[in-house]
């Protein structure tokens, strides 16, 4: 899917900024992820950031071997300090060439390092979009991360068959739509999603 490295820092920073702007009264709000409120989405972002940080370090254990759907994620009282810190650590680890080579593990799945890096970019892009939509914030994702996300999702959909994506049925989006919208559609989400719709 990719044989070059990608700086995850700009996208990690975009997600951290979105997270820090979430108000306490928004934590129970719905998100584009079925059955996940904003607080659960933030918990998922925290967990995946730890998992992909450790996958980049090739430090295997519970953080890399636990399936993401094994429990409903949630946040603790220190999440506003913890999430930006872990996002920064994730980006820092993946700036080195070593994580992109060989194999690693995340979510209990073994994969090439380059694929894991693309998955990390995709998770940050799509869940950043989820968080922005759920909390009514503008979203300015890193263009390089959006390209990596789209390439990963397109390749995954191509492998799974017509209309199917890695995260569920593909939502059709016009070919001339912005690349982010096309990535969102490939992730099984409707780019027009708004709370209550």
pLDDT over 50 at 13, yes or no: yes
Mean pLDDT, all residues of the chain = 92
Q: Kindly give the interhelix angle for 9-20 and 79-93, rounded to the nearest 10 degrees.
A: 170
Tens digit of pLDDT for each residue in 144-193? 999 999 999 999 887 766 666 677 789 999 999 999 999 999 999 999 99
pLDDT over 70 at 62, yes or no: yes
C-alpha neighbours within 13 Å on the C-beta side of residue 57? 15
Handedness of CA 184, 187, 45, 61 (dihedral sign): negative
Exposed, middle or buried, 162 (CB in 10 Å: 0-12/13-18/19+)?
A: exposed
Query: 153, 98, 141, 191: which is closest to 12 by C-alpha?
Result: 141
pLDDT over 90 at 69, yes or no: no
- With H, G, I as helix, E, B as strand and everything else as coil, classify residue 104: strand
Q: Cα(first)–Cα(last) distance of the chain, in Å?
A: 34
pLDDT over 50 at 2, yes or no: no
pLDDT at 3: 46
Tens digit of pLDDT for each residue in 73-115? 999 999 999 999 999 999 999 999 999 999 999 999 999 999 9
């Amino acid at each position: 899917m990719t044989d070059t490295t990608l700086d995850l820092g700009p996208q990690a920073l975009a997600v951290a900024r979105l997270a820090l702007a979430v108000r306490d009264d928004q934590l129970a709000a719905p998100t584009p992820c079925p059955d996940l409120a904003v607080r659960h989405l933030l918990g998922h972002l925290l967990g995946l950031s730890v998992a992909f940080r450790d996958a980049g370090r090739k430090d295997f254990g519970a953080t890399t071997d636990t399936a993401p759907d094994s429990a409903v994620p949630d946040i603790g009282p220190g999440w506003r300090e913890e999430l930006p810190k872990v996002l920064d650590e994730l980006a820092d680890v993946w700036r080195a060439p070593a994580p992109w080579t060989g194999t690693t593990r995340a979510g209990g799945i073994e994969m090439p390092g380059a694929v894991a890096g693309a998955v990390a970019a995709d998770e940050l892009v799509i869940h950043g979009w989820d968080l922005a939509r759920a909390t009514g914030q503008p979203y300015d994702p890193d263009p390089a991360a959006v390209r990596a996300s789209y390439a990963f999702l397109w390749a995954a959909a191509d492998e799974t068959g017509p209309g199917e994506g890695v995260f569920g049925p593909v939502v059709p989006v016009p070919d001339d739509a912005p690349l982010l919208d096309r990535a969102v559609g490939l992730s099984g989400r409707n780019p027009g999603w708004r709370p209550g719709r």
